[in-house]
Chains A and B, each alone.
Chain A
Amino acid sequence: MKNSLLISCFLLLYSCLQAQDADKLLASVKAKLESVKDYTGEATLSVNVSFMNVPDSRVKVYFLQPDQFKILKPDGISILPKGGMSISLNSLISGKEFTAVPAGYTSMNGRKLATIKLLPVNENSDIVLSTLLVDETTALVWKATTTTRENGTYESILEYGRFARWGLPDKILFVFNTNTFKLPKGVTMEYEGSKKAATSKPQGDGKGRVTLVYSNYTINTGLKPALFK
């Protein structure tokens, strides 16, 4: 009895300590991200969705604290899944309140990463749960999985390089579900030749992928909120 009480106390203390560690880690991730008030990124956007035929394009990516985020193709059309804001960790995490829950460690590409689950404090938040895989030494998030109320689950896989000290990735692979999406049947006549070509394309795994490869960032130049209107 005495022992079990002792063990319980220990476990409680341990988990509190662990939660404290998770909070600390989240804080350091946030601190790193929040050091970027705004940025303008130049990137190549590739969209790989089974029912979309979009060429790779040069885009500009804009971000402004706390969660203003926009991808623009100058003079052209860009198409991104709804909730694409979570493509940017900055807009996902910056300025938001979360309860962080530790979930142990995992290994990705030979890198030991801490898993933290984030539960939003605000009950009306669209985000239900986010899971971050964080490198404790650099406070860099290598993978984020976000479940939303409206738009399903997203997965971001990030790679860092030249802009790691700002917490900004060189490459993001963004994976989302496309199973539920149905294109409307066209009312106009379709060309049989095109149909044959389209049906011969391999069916996807029900997931869409968007890749952003950044070539450059311009950080904290004082972007105007009007840009995001």
Chain B
Amino acid sequence: MWQLLRIELFKIFKRPRTYISFAAIGAIVALILLAFYADGTNYMAFGMQSLTQSFDIQGNVLNGYLICFIILQTLLIHVPLLIALVAGDQIAGEANMGTLRLLITKPVSRTNLLLAKFFSSAIYTILLLCWMALLSLVVSILIFGTGDLMILKSEEVVILEKADVLWRYFAAFGFAAIAMTTVAALSFLLSVFAENSIGPIVTTMSVIIVFTILTTMDIPIFNAIKPFLFTTHMIGWKGFFDAPVQWEPVLQSAGILLFHIIAFLVATILIFRKKDILS
């Protein structure tokens, strides 16, 4: 199993497309940081307009912690595409390349092969998030310093003490890892049905976009189904920026996502074990 995992990781990290994601995240984060460095004060003045009309805000609002939050908020919606790019390719891509049949003729069980492929996708996902964390948190802090974190939500303004922030980011990135692994698992499942990777990538993104629209629209009939959509729980990382953290919904969301991961993975294995390899 360990051998298989190493082979799968070797294949992932030998592919040029793997690095598209790292480059894309690097470029986006660099652009956001540059924009804030050049014109951050104006952006903040605009963003907090409604608040500064009635309140005086003193202190360094535009610090590394806030920028990291803004980056996470803007970027995490788009990361699923980068995850699907690799996870959706795991089986469909091999089928398309014609290597899948060669893999299956090797003396390894299909279940082990799938587990190795899934865990390598999960590791890729986690490394991508670590890369994002490094850029958005470490680099932001190096450039903009730390400070209290002020977050504007639609229902309240939250200020978190400087010393009370960092652990929340670790927790948030941990949660994001679960959320993104859910995307990887979905993509992976869809990958079983296709013989080229475009299908699963596009389908994964379509599912996420449709679910996200349902989550965002405040319409009563949609509200009823919201708790059942995994996308509703994917932004649970924001829960770590409540004061105090509402552990129950956050842990519940994490549990629901983990359940999805396991369900997707089990479905993938069951389907793939019975699948005739005709590619």
Contact = CB atoms under 8 A, between A and B. Distances in A.
A120 interface: no
Nearest to B149: A77
Contacts of B162: 75-76
Contacts of B88: none
A52 B55 CA distance: 11
B238 A191 contact: yes
B242 A194 contact: yes
A191 B216 contact: no
A181 B54 contact: yes
A163 interface: no
A183 B252 contact: no
Nearest to A57: B161
A110 interface: no
Interface size range on A against B: 35 or more
* Residue from B77, B150, B154 whose CB has the most chain A CB atoms within 10 Å: B154
A193 B236 contact: yes
A225 interface: no
Given A71-B58, A190-B154, A196 B161 contact: no
B73 interface: yes
B104 to A, nearest CB: 41
Interface string A161-198: 00000000000000000001111111011111111111
Interface in B233-279: 235-239, 242-243, 246, 248-250, 252-253
Contact of B160 (A51, A55, A84, A185): A55
Nearest to A72: B58
Contacts of A111: none
B148 interface: yes
A70 B59 CA distance: 11
A78 B152 contact: no
Contacts of A184: 50, 152, 154
Contact of B157 (A52, A80, A84, A194): A52
Contacts of A84: 56
B232 interface: yes
Contacts of B239: 191, 193-194
A188 B73 CA distance: 8
Contacts of A186: 152-154
User: Chain B: interface secondary structure?
Assistant: mixed
A76 B226 CA distance: 37
A81 B147 CA distance: 21
Interface size range on B against A: 35 or more
B53 interface: yes
A54 interface: yes
A57 B150 CA distance: 14
Interface in B200-228: 212, 215-216, 226-227
* Residue from A73, A84, A151, A193 whose CB has the most chain B CB atoms within 10 Å: A193
Contacts, number: 135
B249 A77 contact: no
A2 interface: no
A148 to B, nearest CB: 12
Interface in A57-81: 57, 70-73, 75-81
Contact of A82 (B55, B154, B235, B243): B55
B61 interface: yes
B157 A182 contact: no
Contacts of B147: 75-77
A199 interface: yes
A145 B41 CA distance: 35
Contacts of B248: 193
Nearest to B52: A82
A76 B157 contact: no
Interface string A116-151: 000000000000000000000000000000000001
18 contacts: A50-B156, A53-B242, A53-B243, A54-B157, A55-B160, A73-B58, A76-B161, A77-B59, A79-B55, A79-B159, A183-B152, A183-B157, A184-B152, A189-B215, A191-B237, A193-B236, A193-B250, A193-B253
Given A82-B54, A189-B77, 13 more contacts: A50-B156, A53-B243, A54-B158, A57-B161, A77-B61, A79-B57, A183-B152, A186-B153, A189-B216, A190-B235, A191-B249, A193-B248, A194-B153
Interface of B: 50-51, 53-61, 73, 77, 147-148, 150, 152-162, 164, 212, 215-216, 226-227, 232, 235-239, 242-243, 246, 248-250, 252-253
Which 6 A-B residue pairs are closest in the complex by CB-CB distance?
A193-B249, A77-B59, A186-B154, A76-B148, A191-B238, A198-B155
